[in-house]
Structure 1
Amino acid sequence: MPFPTLPAPLARTLAARGYEEPTPVQEAVLDAASQGRDLLVSAQTGSGKTVAFGIAVAERLLTEEGTLPPPGAPLALVIAPTRELALQVEREITWLYAETGARVVSCVGGMDPRREARALDAGVHIVVGTPGRLRDHIERGRLKTETLEAVVLDEADEMLDLGFRDDLEFILSSAPTTRRTLLFSATLPKLITALAERYQRDALRLAVAGASRGHADISYRAVRVLPREIEHAVVNILRYVDAPTAIVFCNTREGVRHLQASLIERGFTAVALSGELGQGERNAALQALRDGRARTCVATDVAARGIDLPGLDLVIHADLPHDAEVMQHRSGRTGRAGRKGTSVLLVPASRRRRAEQMLQLAGVNFEWSGPPTAEEVRALDRDRMLDDPSFAEEPNEEDREWADALLAKLPPEKLAAALARAYRARIPAPEDVSDPNFSTDSRQSQRKATQGERGTVPVGAPRVGDDGPSVWFRLNIGRRDSADPRRLLPMLSRRGGIGRGDIGAIRIFDRETKFEIRAAAAADFAAAFAERGPPDVAIEMLAGEGVAPPKQHSPRAAKHRREVGKPPKRQRG
């Protein structure tokens, strides 16, 4: 068996599911050094972490014979950020513990709390839920926590981003101090480590190698598009790839509504997932995707967080994600459990630098191309028609009778044309699109410059004093956010992992701030900044965009701007 150290019921279930060997995160929690300890695990979405924490808590729940006591007050609690993820975790824990007779109950927002209360009263072994609903059940005395042997926080960084810190602290404070606490998070910002220090005991930190492994099976493509043709490009990519299931991401609910309606009008079977939908509508959309009645899902980031769809081979970013982490979360919906997947970013010329920066910070390989043309899609359609399984089937007697009648009345070329016409009528027509063909080669030399390659300086790069070339960045906070150099300088230094001497001029505008970083430190600074701190405070590299350094009317004025201990001179933004 692939998991010889596990209790027999779990090992048999995993073997029956085709698990041949544990993933890195599963191997890490099964290691002897992890046994019985609180764990702080950094692992990406799609790395097999649900099974990982399912098998990790087994030692506290199951007897030596692999059995469970009669259901009563819960023995384990799993907390997830969204309804979809909680329900997905419930399904996975249910099949993992199927042979043990475990009773698993979900408690999530948007569902009937009275039904959940009745299920809790009937006795459970494992409860999976969202923070707000779990806290409500605890406060009403429906969910007992005194018997908990293990508490799991899944995607803890997402829960903090969504504002669940108070709920998490309440739940953890109500659980016995003797419990085992497992905290799983894609990233480990300061708030996560502070939570771990407060509520875990001598936790073992596991940074599972292969944050890139979660994307090893994902092929990234950056597709040049004209802004007015983004919708047409989505159509052609869906038709060209012809994935069993695809998800298209938009940044707004309005964008989701518009694109879904447009795809349906063109003949696609498309459903939508956005925050404005009720839980029943969301469940119906997901079920349509799972049973094949729909092949395309158009979604916002929050609505699609945590969903796991079988056969999801294609992710399209119709709107560029806000940062590299969001891009990886979106893309991580595909390329799971050993399957290959494709992640396509649609990039207008004005967002080229932003897209390249995100892909670079994510550390993924990618290729540029134009969108698939209508003729390329039609050529594939002709090949697919010839490979249609119906041509390989042996005709029965009735088929031959119909064929003979048609051939007696019509010439073969007319029959073939009618067949082709009928085939085309079943599929959405491709769109005419253009390739803006903006340059994507020059960025290679610019990227090397930002990584500190000696002798290579971006054209027009400003300088940090007289110490050599520098790179300009944009920060998405400004005077309206009470930004000032005394606050910005230590924040940039700490979050970017650089010394204060690597930071040059700082220009504060009403809605943004521009600042310069020594070129030799720019790439490391950008990568560190993206990994640390809240994602709503973001930077954008401006190297190579012709951004000029601050106008210096005198040496005294320039010196004043670099003296970050003094208030900045007000400038018009």
Structure 2
Amino acid sequence: MNATNIPAALSSALEARGYAALTPVQSEVTADEAIGRDLLVSAQTGSGKTVAFGLAIAGQLLTDDQLPQPGAPLALVIAPTRELALQVAKELTWLYADARIATCVGGMDPSRERRALNHGAHIVVGTPGRLRDHVERGALNLSQIRAAVLDEADEMLDMGFRDDLEALLDQTPAERRTLLFSATLPKTIVALARKYQRDALRISTVSEQRGHGDITYRAVTVSPSEIEHAVINLLRFYEAETAILFCATRDNVRHLHAGLVERGFAAVALSGEHSQNERNHALQALRDRRARVCVATDVAARGIDLPTLSLVVHVELPRDAEVLQHRSGRTGRAGKKGTAVLLVPYPRRRRVEMMLRGARIAAEWGEVPTAEAIRAKDRERLLERLLAPVEVDEDDQALAAELLAQRSAEEIAAAFVAAQRASLPAPEELSDRAPEDRQKAHRPGFDDVVWFRMNVGRRQNADPRWVLPLLCRRGHVTKAEIGAIRIGAMETQFQVPSALAGRFAAAVRASANADGEDESGVRIEPMQGAPAPMRGGPGGAGGPPQRRYQAQRTPRPRR
């Protein structure tokens, strides 16, 4: 530990917390060349950033290893979200045991925050909007600030807080220290640093591999219609002490959370529609093990730090590599191992492969765990748990003797195993055979059929395991009502019984736009007569040339 530049009080706090050595970013910010300078730091999530900037600003807070009487704040820490701000305040509280730390975040009682500020504080931690509101109302005096810290500055700029940040920094003394912590350094961060920092020392502890070394990445292909079942099987396969599931919108969080609770999972939800009080209760349930699964949006999950979190599932794909890494970085922290799983709908595989390549993340590709694989895992875990040595008291031994007097050891063991299995949600049986395999033999009801075509084929990654659910959803039919499916190079052809063809076509038209396509650009239309054999050329069986299928960009959803 670089104890030379760390005050004794903080060294004692670190030792009491179990720190045997500083993390790389903590060592860098306390090195001789960093003392007293503005810092521009890029570090991975989970690398100990909060403690790092807590140590870095010690020189601005302490005099002769002592804090002055609380008054106008000496340090300002700005974070993008309520959860992250509260987490930062919690970390600084144990690092600076005698400091008075005030939090100012949206969703909390502003009058209580104003009273806390009025009583004086050494450090103020908050979100940009709420901090600016207190400044403009005269409740927060920034004239004595000696150090300003912007945590996850790139996220704050992405979220549109630039004006708030500049308004806050403009209220602080020009001679203050400014510490910018950012996972990435886009042009907007560089411009902000140039405007508000002087001779800043650039520090980077982000590895060249970019993904966390303690995180195992897995990509699992799945039919779009079976994503929720895939989530259930992943949770059952890994049986993580704590898991977080990322969705894109609050509606999807609500739907998935309800489905998991119905299936018997102890789950909580975090999204923009939940009050701060509800979020606090949800996080506490995860910390005290009353809940094991958290379903969340990206914004709601920022700042979550759960030591037992070992599984992250990207239920809906992140919009880019940075979001992927930030989500995944909720696990694999402080030297612990974690697993991040991406659920990849079949038509999105190419896009995900490109994103992983760009992020220099090596992911292991595979399928959703089957019910058989889950039952095998359950057996391993149950045997391990039952064969582990245990200490029993006299009451336990007496009860065991009474049971053995009435039942055989095999009967007791079987009853115990059954009880253990009954407490576990049942795994899902996913589609294990491609639709085309089921169409090889003649099926009753398909003597008189109408052929339809769809404008995606092998070159657009069309896969029978997602084609069939798509047809059922668009045409309001069941799997049994779709006949043979032929996937060509540029289009897919399939059968619908003539008795259902009219209803199928009407349902498809109702779910399409003026161009006859759905929101993903997929067009379904009837063919004239039976198709010619496919030869893999453009346009399939004599139809018009089809454009390459591309998923349409949708507006960024509310979080």
Q: Please, what TM-score do these two structures have when normalized by structure 1?
A: 0.73
SS at match of 1:40: strand
Identity within the alignment, %: 64
Deviation at 1:27, TM superposition (A): 1.9
| Aligned position for 1:77 | 76
Structure 2 counterpart of 1:320, from 296, 306, 317? 317
2:467 corresponds in structure 1 to none
The residue identity in structure 2 corresponding to 1:314 is L
Structure 1 residues 438-457: aligned runs within 5 Å: none
Counting only pairs closer than 5 Å after superposition, residues 216-365 of structure 1 correspond to structure 2 as: 216-365=213-362
Deviation of the 1:50 alpha carbon: 0.9
Question: Counterparts of 2:105 and 2:20 in 1: how far apart (Å)?
Answer: 33
- The one-letter code sitting in structure 2 at the alignment partner of 1:125 is H
Q: Secondary structure at the match of 1:177?
A: coil
Q: Is the contact between residue 320 and residue 347 of structure 1 (CA under 8 Å) also seen in structure 2?
A: yes
Corresponding residue of 1:7: 7
On the 8 A contact 1:371/1:435 being kept in 2, the answer is no
AA in 2 matched with 1:227 = P
2:474 aligns with none
Question: Is the counterpart of residue 48 in structure 1 residue 48 in structure 2?
Answer: yes
Larger mean CA deviation between 269-278 and 21-30 belongs to 21-30
1:381–1:141 distance in 2 versus 1, CA, 3 Å: same
Deviation at 1:434, TM superposition (A): 4.0
- Equivalent residue for 2:129, pick from 128, 132, 145: 132
Distance 2:120 2:42 in 1: 33
Return the offset for 1:88: 0.3
Which residue number in structure 2 is paired with residue 571 of structure 1? Answer: none
Q: 1:195 aligns with which of 192, 211, 214?
A: 192
For 2:31, the equivalent position in structure 1 comes to: 31
What is the rounded CA distance, in whole Å, between the counterparts of 2:249 and 2:329 in structure 1?
A: 20
* Alignment CA distance shift 1:34-1:106 (3 Å): same
* 2:211–2:359 Cα contact (<8 Å) kept: no
Unaligned runs of 5+ in 1: 439-458, 461-510, 513-545, 548-573
Q: Which sits farther off after the overlay, 405-414 or 241-250?
A: 405-414
Question: Do the aligned residues in 2 keep the contact of 1:224 with 1:435 (CA within 8 Å)?
Answer: no
Tell me the distance in 2 between the aligned counterparts of 1:298 and 1:75. 38
Question: Are residues 1:174 and 2:171 paired?
Answer: yes
Cα gap change, 1:389/1:19 in structure 2, threshold over 3 Å: closer, same or farther? farther
State the partner residue of 1:163: 160
Separation in structure 2 between the aligned mates of residue 268 and residue 215 of structure 1, nearest angstrom: 28
Equivalent-residue separation in structure 1 for 2:305 and 2:117 (angstroms):
26
String of CA shifts for 1:248-283, please: whole Å, max 9, x gaps. 111111111111111111111000001111111111
> Gaps (5+ residues) in structure 2?
436-457, 460-518, 521-537, 540-559
- Offset, 1:353: 0.6
**What are the Cα deviations for residues 98-122 of structure 1, in whole angstroms up to 9, with x where unaligned?**
1xx1111110000001111111111
Per the alignment, residue 60 of structure 2 pairs with 60
SS in 1 for 2:284: helix
Distance of 2:391 and 2:166 partners within structure 1? 65
Q: Which amino acid aligns with 1:88?
A: Q
In structure 2, how many angstroms separate the alpha carbons of the residues matched to 1:213 and 1:20?
A: 25
> Would you say the 8 A contact 1:226–1:436 is kept in 2?
no
For 2:416, which of 397, 412, 419 is the aligned residue?
Answer: 419
Residues 158 and 141 (structure 1), Cα distance of their counterparts in 2 relative to 1, 3 Å cut: same
- Say whether the 8 Å CA contact 2:60–2:146 is kept in structure 1: yes
SS of the residue corresponding to residue 143 of structure 2 reads coil
Aligned length: 441
**CA distance in 2 between partners of 1:389 and 1:410 (Å):** 19
Alignment-derived partner of residue 183 in structure 2: 186
Deviation at 1:405, TM superposition (A): 4.0
Give yes or no for contact 2:5–2:32 (8 Å, CA) kept in 1: no
Instruction: Please give the TM-score of this superposition, normalised by the length of structure 2.
Output: 0.75
The aligned counterpart of 1:90 is 89
Q: Letter of the aligned partner of 2:59 in structure 1?
A: E
Deviation at 1:291, TM superposition (A): 1.1
CA distance in 1, matches of 2:130, 2:141: 14
Read off the aligned partner of 1:356 and give its amino acid letter: E
Deviations along 1:192-234, whole A, 9 cap, x unmatched? 1111111112222223342646611100001121222211211
Distance 2:211 2:147 in 1: 27
1:153 to 131, 150, 155: 150
